[in-house]
Amino acid sequence: MEGLGDEALLDESESLSLCEALDRVLHKGVALRGDIVLSVADVDLVYLGLQLVLCSTDTARRAGLVGGGKR
């Protein structure tokens, strides 16, 4: 995915509505990755690996995350 460009930066005087923020997230995309380990007495009980990509279907197709076929 592309990095943030100059258009993503806001002046302090500008406000960002929820609709505009959601539009930017879906257009650019957001990727999150994390690991969680639950342990008791230094014994690892649960490991949870998370990978999340949030974007529009058009953005996912351009990035090659999903196939281009139609349903």
Please list the pLDDT of the chain residue by residue as tens digits (71 residues): 455 555 555 555 567 788 888 888 888 888 889 999 999 999 999 999 999 888 888 888 888 887 766 65
DSSP E strands, the chain: 30-40, 43-54
The pLDDT score that the predictor gives to residue 71 is 57
1: its two tokens: 């995915």
- Which single residue is written with the structure tokens 């960002």? 16
Distances (CA, A) of 12 to 9, 15, 17, 37, 46: 10, 8, 14, 39, 43
For CA atoms 24, 19, 64, 34, give the dihedral sign: positive
Predicted TM-score of the model (pTM): 0.49
> How high is the pLDDT of residue 48?
93
User: So what's the pLDDT on residue 43?
Assistant: 93
pLDDT of residue 44: 92
